[in-house]
Amino acid sequence: MTEKLNNTGSLQCCQSSDSLKSNVLVNNNIIMPENLKNPHYEYVFPKRQKVDLAFQNVTFTSNTWSITKMKKETKEILHGVSGKFKSGELSVIMGPSGAGKSSLLNILAGFITKGSTGNVTLNGVVRDQSQKFRKLSAYIPQDEELRMGLTVMEAMTFAANLKLGYSVSRQYKMQQVVEIVALLGLSQSHHTLTSRLSGGQRKRLAVALELLSNPPILFLDEPTTGLDSSSCSHCIYLFKKLAQEGRTIICTIHQPSALMFETFDKLYALADGKCIYDGPSLKLLGYLNNFNIKCPPYHNPADFLMEVAIGEHNVDLNVLAEATKESQMEAETLEKKEKHCSLEHQDLMNLKSDIPSISPAPVIMQFLLLYKRNMVETKRNWLYPFNRLLAHITIALIFGYLYRGVGANANQILANYVYLYGTMLLNVYTGKMSVTLSFPLEMRILTREHFNRWYKLSPYLLSVILIEIPFQVLCTWTYIVISYSLTSQPLDFRAYLFVLFVTIGTLCAQSMGYFIGATTTTKIAVFIGPVLACCFSIFGFCLRRMDTPPMFRWLFTISYFRAAFHGVVVAVYGFNRKDLFCSENEIYCHYEDPAKFLKEMDIVNIDLVSNITLVVFIWILMHTATYLTLWLKLNKR
């Protein structure tokens, strides 16, 4: 396979017809390209521009609120560190816990900017947060945050279509998927669910997903955490290989083995937010010897570095930090002189000279892909939606048995009133609580995928909502069909109004559930959701407007539950309904005329159009607020 750039700068794949035929799906099985069956074959990624990353005087300050002291506490984590990570090198940031490793990596990746100062440059050009610079890098957090309900090939295929869009051909995307999977040693796991992969395989899959767009810079936060020695070695070998192809690989590692330590091209050691070493890993011990800091024989240099970084061996870390700064300045001066005489550097300075026009999929395509991905995961996790549907059926049968026949009997009108209230409350609860944890549970996955430019927020949010709305409607209608008929409710046009108000009520509650989940933590969300549902349900059922204290009447007015519930009651007993059935044995039938009941319940002069408008307005408002909340979270750096 060979690649070339067309006149627009986009990558095109030049293959023979036989090669293209090898990249097809046969009975859902992916056929391995013939060249990958060769044990001596090594896949080489399309060339991207080499990018060197440098940073000067980077500081980071963390602000936390102290509950005990009731004031904001400020802690400076990074104290003006500088350095440079070059293309073609595996650069590792090391240091003890709290030294600032992850903070520095997040700042360099652009994942965090608030509270930081200093300059970050790419090939001498100051980095900003524009899309031009974002598409040069990929960020992989410590926790892989993968879609556990997808197989390896499904995850890779969805990612390829999202990240590459129409900028390359379908055959090229499939070739990339198959060959990257083979490169990372996942060929035997094509149809294995991500949840069943080992820790090392998940790390490699996380890398494979980001390699599809072939970024020149790769940031990895603690990629070996939780892995055994064999998996660690495999991952480090992979990163080394990727770096040798011209990428800039930057990762944080806490405490590697001695063998792993020797494979690092560049070591950047931090202690108390200061850089105490910046150079090749193999020269670390020689550098420390200059300060009479000697590593014992047969001692792991990485372990010795950690001991030095926490202040053991009578080491003054400030001396090491000052010496490192001086050596960095000397190296920078020497490099400037060498580059001044190099004509090649002039091309390296221009970041626009060699960026293939690989762009994500269009918004509509993103929505369709994300919707399909959600459908696949929902189908795999079928037990949860099945239990929801079964719960609605079960409660419908119970309500129908307890309140059987109450809809047509005047003397049982209060029992029917309770049934109507219970129907609204059930569907409000199930609509709200079934989605409250949607965003808290996958916020990290959303953050990683959105930050790495897989898709925009709007198609993602729409794909999530449109998965839940039809299913919640199905559950609601199933409940209504069973309970409505068993309770002997009217079967004329009133039934349609009943279905309408219960449906918009549950969907409005669902939108509020999304908003609660997007704005609060998991523990708060599961608490505040039922509390708000109960609070709004008081109005209209437990409290009439005339009984509501003036200071709370605004809640009565804006309560979507009250609007939907009143709509249900009017649908059943309004519109000049004929007299209800009264037993011949009854001497006095108080509610024979339904209008009398509505008057006593203060459910008169109800404008159903206004009630529908209020519920729909709150439904739209909650979804809009959810979008804005997620947008702020994703873009708050």
pLDDT score of 364: 95
The predicted model gives 178-189 an average pLDDT of: 88
Is residue 14 a contact partner of residue 169, using CB atoms and an 8 Å limit? no
> What percent of the chain lies above the pLDDT cut of 90?
52
Listed in order, strand segments (DSSP E) in 406-542 are: none
Question: How far from chain centre, in Å, is Cα 428?
Answer: 26
Beta strand 71-85 with 2-5 is unpaired
Is residue 200 a contact partner of residue 231, using CB atoms and an 8 Å limit? yes
* 3-state SS track over 419-435: HHHHHHHHHHHHHHHCC
Residue 193: strand pairing partners = 151
The predicted model gives 342-370 an average pLDDT of: 66
Q: How does pLDDT run across 466-496, given as a tens digit for each residue?
A: 999 999 999 999 999 999 999 999 999 999 9
**Average pLDDT along the chain:** 85
The letter for the amino acid at 566 is H
Q: Give the number of residues written for the chain.
A: 637
* pLDDT value at 346 more than 80: no
Which residue carries 């005990």 as its tokens? 68
Question: How far from chain centre, in Å, is Cα 481?
Answer: 37
The letter for the amino acid at 334 is L
Q: Which of 222-231, 256-265, 281-290, 468-477 has the lowest mean pLDDT?
A: 222-231
Is residue 487 a contact partner of residue 405, using CB atoms and an 8 Å limit? yes
Residue 119: strand pairing partners = 56
Is residue 200 a contact partner of residue 227, using CB atoms and an 8 Å limit? yes
The predicted model gives 336-354 an average pLDDT of: 52
| Angle, vertex CA 157, rays to CA 154 and CA 162, nearest 5 | 125
pLDDT score of 342: 53
* Structural domains of the chain, with CATH: 1-41+151-214 (no CATH), 49-136+216-228+242-361 (3.40.50.300), 386-431+472-635 (no CATH)
Listed in order, strand segments (DSSP E) in 9-167 are: 11-14, 25-26, 29-30, 53-66, 71-85, 90-94, 116-122, 125-126, 137-140
Rounded CA-CA distance 406/482 in Å is: 14
* pLDDT confidence bin for 145, thresholds 50/70/90: confident
Q: Which of 6-10, 152-156, 183-187 has the lowest mean pLDDT?
A: 6-10
| Angle, vertex CA 249, rays to CA 245 and CA 250, nearest 5 | 170
Regarding predicted confidence, which is higher, 311 or 2?
311
* pLDDT value at 232 more than 70: yes
Rounded CA-CA distance 95/489 in Å is: 71
* pLDDT confidence bin for 142, thresholds 50/70/90: confident
